[in-house]
Each structure stands twice: as C-alpha cells, then as structure tokens.
Amino acid sequence: MTATTGTGTTVGSRSTAVPERGPVPVLWLALLATPIAAGANAPVLILPDMAASLGVTTAGAAWLLTGFGWAIAVGTPLLAGLLRRRGLAAVLRLATVLVLAGTLLVAASPWLPLTLAGRCAQAAGGAGLVAAAISLAGTARRMGVVSAGFGMLGAAGPLLGRALADGASWRIALTVQAVSLLAVPAVLRRAGAGTPPAPGRFDGRGAALLTALATALVLLPTAPLAALAAALVAAALLTLHVRRRPDGFVPAELLRRPVFVVSSLLALALSASYFTLLFAVPRLLADRAGWDTAAAGTGQLVALLAGSALSWPLAAASARMSRTAVRTVLVTTGALAALAGILGTSGALLLAATAAGVFTAGAANAILSTHAVADAPGEAQRPSAIGLFTLCYQLGGAFGPAVAALLVLG
C-alpha cells in the first residue's frame, strides 16, 4: 500500500525523502497559464483576414475559435486526469509537446482543417498548463492574480493580433501562446514532481464519454437538434458509467457536492456571456455606433483592462465575504452586462457591458474555482475538481464565439 506525508513519499516499506519546497511564485504561474488568453483572443479583429487567406467565409473561419474553445474544454479534464494519475511533470511535458506541435501547424498550414487541428493542439496543451497552474495556485488571492492576468492578456489579444497581422501575418498572431513555455522549466524546478500520482487504473471509458458530452454541448449553437440528441445520449451513458464506477474519471462523490456543482454551472454561464460579448461587441460597435475597427479595438482594450483589474480586488476580498454575497455580486453584474450587450446602442454602453463581462468572468474563475476545489472530497480528488470546473468555464469559451457567429458575425 502507498501512503504519503508532507515531507516524503512511502512506497511499500521504503521511504524517499522529498525536500520541502515553498509555493511556486505566482508570476511564474501567471506566465505559465495566461498567454493562452492572448492566443485565444488574437483572432477577434482579424477573423476576416483569416477567412480570406484560407478561402472560407467568416463563419467558416469562426470554427477556429469554436475548435479552440472545444479543445480547451475537453483537454482540461483529460490533462487534469493525467495530473492525478501521472503527476505534474508528465502534464507539463505533454502540454509542451502539444503547444509546440500546434504552433508549427498553425504557422505553416494553408488549409482550414489542418489549421484547425493545430489550433486544437495549441488549446489542449494550453489547457494542461492552466490545470497545472490552478493546482499550484492554492488560494483565491493567488488565483486572482492568474485570473486577472488572463483578463489583461485576453484584453490585449485582439489589438496584438491586429498589430501582428498588419506587421507580419495573421499566422504569427496565432503563435503568441508559445510564450507560456518559457515558464515550464522554472515551474518544474520549483514545484518538483508535484502531488504523487494516484493509484488505480485510468478510466478511459469515462474520459471518452465526458469528451463526447462536451463535444455535443459545444455544437449546440450551430446544430441544435443533432447536438441536443447527442448530448442527451452521452449524458445518459455517462450517468450509467458513473454509477458503475463511482471513483472513475468523473467521481460520483464530487457530483454530489452542491458547492462544486453550483460553482461550476455559474462559472459556465458567466464565461459564456463574456465570450459572446468579446466577439460580438466589435461588430456591434460598428453596426450600432458607427465605430471603425481601430476605435473598436482600442475601446475594447480599455474596457477589458479595466474589468480585469477590478476582478482581482473582488477575488482578494472574497475570503472575507460569504459565498452567497459573492454569488450575488457575480450574478447581478453578469446579468447587467448581458442586458447592456443586448439593448445597448451607444459605444459607451457596449464597452461597459464588455468591462462588466470580463469582470464577472475573471472573478468567477478566481473565486469559484477555489470554492469548487475546496469542496472536493479529499486531496486525491482535487485534480478532478480542477478539471471538471475548468471544463465548465471553458465550455463558455466555446459557446461564446459560436453564439456570436450565429447572432452577429454572419
């Protein structure tokens, strides 16, 4: 039998001492996790350029956004499962390979399907880096720094993508995520192997069913009837599987935790609202307020930076607030953001909606993730809680571009 302590790992009757390590500095975690936000948002202002270069419509090119969100969504629980079974080092190495391979494909591919494969590889690798960063963050305050970094780099992503596309190529704009790999050696050195791998066999069937369910959910905005049918079938099969194997890839005990379930679903809703606004507001600023691309990009940058900066104080203060109070702030602000995006006709109101959207999404990611992970039944379930929570949050990142493309991008 294997047991672990705070200072060493016991394997059978043999004990191997592990030196005490402090927490990984949060700036390394931010560098590890946040460049994916810039990579995800870089296409916002250059989607027509990408479409023209690849010989497809703007709606067709939007699949690069939806696919990216899908790969993050399904990649996060898969790589969090790897984190649970094989440890931190294995996740960071696989994530590095995926990011590098995806970046090379995006830089060289002349065809949409191959470019889409590259974007999915980038996203899946980035999901592993994010899962690793969340597992090492530990507190809402530290997670707030990471989440605020997400928002700020996400805010810079559209204008950075536009600048790189104008100065070089839109393909270069989609490679900025690779900067995150600079943090991998430092995190490995400071964190070591991380949590010892959990015993037991990997639940491949549970992972496959969860992936099928997430894929069907991502397709809901574009193929509602077929996706709904597939989602219902996948959900039914996954439910049966969880009953047969309650300690598998989707732990039954975790799903029975109200705090975990409520936190995850609320994060999904706020994330979907934010990402819809992110991709829709530039077009709405042009159509409703007559702004040009440069003005829309600059205005959106300011709004996103302001909203991201405001999310960190809420994350830092959340430890002194009740969970009900935190949820009330998030739900109220998120509802007002969505309403302003739907009804707003002035540029100022649309940008206020963007700022409120990123504020709620960033704060939800920082605060609700710590709630969800803290509610996990034991240390061994923390990676599963991280993976499933982040799956819900990133599903919003997949829904948002698809909903925006359906409603306003055309």
Q: What is the DSSP string of 33-85?
A: HTHHHHHHHGGGGTHHHHHHHHTS-HHHHTHHHHHHHHHHHHHHHHHHHHHHH
Calculate ∠ Cα 149-150-154, nearest 5°. 115
What are the tokens at 10? 């016991």
Least reliable range by pLDDT among 31-45, 174-188, 326-340: 31-45
Judged against a pLDDT cut of 90, whether residue 239 lies above it is answered with yes
SS3 200: coil
So what's the pLDDT on residue 20? 46
So what's the pLDDT on residue 136? 85
The DSSP bridge partners found for residue 4 are 9
Residue with tokens 């491949």: 204
pLDDT digits (tens, 9 = 90+) for 197-231: 555 677 888 889 998 998 888 888 777 889 899 99
Whether 59 contacts 407, CB under 8 Å: no
Whether 41 contacts 355, CB under 8 Å: no
Whether 188 contacts 89, CB under 8 Å: yes
Instruction: Identify which has the larger pLDDT, 156 or 129.
Output: 129
Whether 160 contacts 106, CB under 8 Å: no
Judged against a pLDDT cut of 60, whether residue 21 lies above it is answered with no
* Cα–Cα distance, 386 to 369 (Å, whole number): 7
So what's the pLDDT on residue 11? 35
The pLDDT confidence band at residue 327, using thresholds 50, 70 and 90, is very high
SS3 203: coil
So what's the pLDDT on residue 196? 57
pLDDT digits (tens, 9 = 90+) for 70-102: 888 788 888 887 887 778 888 999 999 999 999
So what's the pLDDT on residue 215? 87
Q: Report the Cα 280 to chain-centroid distance in Å.
A: 19
So what's the pLDDT on residue 229? 94
Mean pLDDT calculated for residue range 340-347 = 88
So what's the pLDDT on residue 8? 34
Mean pLDDT calculated for residue range 370-389 = 81
* Averaged pLDDT score across all residues of the chain: 83
Residue with tokens 């193929």: 223
Judged against a pLDDT cut of 80, whether residue 253 lies above it is answered with yes
Q: Exposed, middle or buried by CB within 10 Å (0-12, 13-18, 19+), for 201?
A: exposed
Judged against a pLDDT cut of 80, whether residue 302 lies above it is answered with yes
pLDDT digits (tens, 9 = 90+) for 110-129: 888 999 999 999 999 998 99
Residues 6+ apart with CB under 8 A from 149: 30, 33, 34, 37
Judged against a pLDDT cut of 90, whether residue 353 lies above it is answered with yes
SS3 385: helix
Judged against a pLDDT cut of 80, whether residue 19 lies above it is answered with no
So what's the pLDDT on residue 114? 92
* Cα–Cα distance, 269 to 73 (Å, whole number): 14
Amino acid making up residue 36: I
Judged against a pLDDT cut of 60, whether residue 1 lies above it is answered with no
Mean pLDDT calculated for residue range 276-304 = 84
> Which one, of 86, 79, 83, 94, lies nearest residue 127 by Cα?
79
Least reliable range by pLDDT among 1-5, 59-63, 313-317: 1-5
Judged against a pLDDT cut of 90, whether residue 162 lies above it is answered with no
Amino acid making up residue 85: R
* Cα–Cα distance, 95 to 183 (Å, whole number): 12
So what's the pLDDT on residue 192? 64
> Which one, of 228, 250, 229, lies nearest residue 239 by Cα?
250
Amino acid making up residue 153: L
Judged against a pLDDT cut of 60, whether residue 187 lies above it is answered with yes
The DSSP bridge partners found for residue 10 are 3, 15
Residue with tokens 């309403």: 339
Calculate ∠ Cα 324-329-335, nearest 5°. 120
So what's the pLDDT on residue 265? 93
Q: Would you put residue 326 in left (φ > 0), alpha (ψ -120 to 50) or beta?
A: alpha
Highest mean pLDDT among 233-237, 253-257, 359-363, 399-403: 233-237
* Cα–Cα distance, 288 to 285 (Å, whole number): 6
| 2-4, strands of its sheet edge to edge | 2-4, 8-11, 14-17
So what's the pLDDT on residue 14? 39
Judged against a pLDDT cut of 80, whether residue 44 lies above it is answered with no
Beta strands in 278-340 (DSSP E): none
The pLDDT confidence band at residue 409, using thresholds 50, 70 and 90, is low
Mean pLDDT calculated for residue range 361-377 = 85
Element (H, E) at 11: strand 8-11
Instruction: Identify which has the larger pLDDT, 297 or 209.
Output: 209
